[in-house]
Amino acid sequence: AGKGSAEDQYEFGLLHYGGAEGVKRNLPTAAEWIKKAAMQGCAAAQAFLGDMHSRGDGVERDMEQAVVWWRKAASQDPGNDEDKRTIVIARSNLAKAYDTGGEGAHACTPFRSTLRATVVSTFFPLHAIMPTIPHMRSHPQDSRKTVI
């Protein structure tokens, strides 16, 4: 972890967060290592650091910082299924922050308009599923039968 690998730093932070494998639980130390990984662009670390800020786990509770880190994670391009899950969770957390109108919600405003389209296109590409839905083949112009 000390050599700079973001993934190693994130995993080391998680060990301190959960107190696993003989490592004593230490939330401030966990936050320190997870932040190092997040600053290097690790989406999982960014999303988790946002969660930590939203709850005040090892850091001061700060919804504006939570939104900052969730936005960084949400803006990543998913490289694998684990990244996709992490990014969707970060996007979901942003949407919740916006919908509740709480602290940090103003930072979500530019993100709101693209959230739904991004999540749908990431996991439900319409061009791939439309031919499998019978009413979509026979009535593509009928908006009453469109399911999204």
CA distance linking residue 146 with residue 148, whole number of Å: 6
Side chain identity, residue 76: Q
pLDDT in tens, 34-50: 999 999 999 999 999 99
Side chain identity, residue 128: A
Tokens at residue 119, please? 């999540």
Assign 142 a pLDDT band (cuts: 50, 70, 90).
very low
Judge whether residue 137 has pLDDT over 70: no
Assign 33 a pLDDT band (cuts: 50, 70, 90).
very high
pLDDT at position 103 is: 56
pLDDT at position 139 is: 42
Rounded to two decimals, what is the model's pTM? 0.66
How many C-beta atoms surround the C-beta of residue 148 within 10 A? Answer: 6
Assign 102 a pLDDT band (cuts: 50, 70, 90).
low
In this predicted structure, which of 60-69, 76-85, 88-97, 115-124 has the lowest mean pLDDT? 115-124
CA distance linking residue 130 with residue 61, whole number of Å: 44
